[in-house]
Amino acid sequence: MPRLHKFVTDAEPVEMTSYMDGWKYADLNKYPDRVRIGAGRQYWRSDEDEPNNRESSYHIASAYSWLVGGNTFAQNGSGGGTVNLGSEKIKHSPYGFYQQEAHLATVAHQCLSMMPKSKSG
């Protein structure tokens, strides 16, 4: 039986934009999908907290405690060389939410394991 349950990802770095204009990455024709890998701060937010945008009361872990990966929220801002992803609209994959998240967490682990280790202790 073929291994059709695998999610294959080809990725390449995106080119830098002139003048640090992060809004160029919001062009869905040029960048239809984007994923996030990393090890940033982790928060949990309940449905009751969502209208007030509360999240800090549910802080789970500081940066670099967990490796994470997944599809991102829609772009809602840009400035000073940053791209802000934070609206409440998530673009779900046709492969399903859980399967994609699980695969990308594996990709994140593989990518981050290749990064140089910090010399500070």
pLDDT of amino acid 2: 47
Q: Is the pLDDT of residue 9 over 60?
A: no
Q: Which tens digit of pLDDT belongs to each residue from 47-57?
A: 676 666 655 56
Mean pLDDT computed over every residue of the chain: 61
Q: Give the residue among 78, 73, 75, 84 at the shortest CA–CA distance from 50.
A: 73
| CA 30 – CA 33 distance, rounded (Å) | 9
Residue 70 pLDDT grade (very low, low, confident, very high; cuts 50, 70, 90): low
Domain boundaries, the chain: 18-113
* Token pair for 28: 């869905």
Name residue, tokens 């010399």: 119
Q: Is the pLDDT of residue 45 over 70?
A: no
Q: Is the pLDDT of residue 71 over 50?
A: yes
Amino acid at 106: T
Q: Is the pLDDT of residue 99 over 50?
A: no
Angle, alpha carbons 81-36-117 (nearest 5°): 85
pLDDT of amino acid 97: 46
Average pLDDT score over residue span 91-109: 47
Segment (H or E) for 60: strand 59-61
Residue 29 pLDDT grade (very low, low, confident, very high; cuts 50, 70, 90): confident
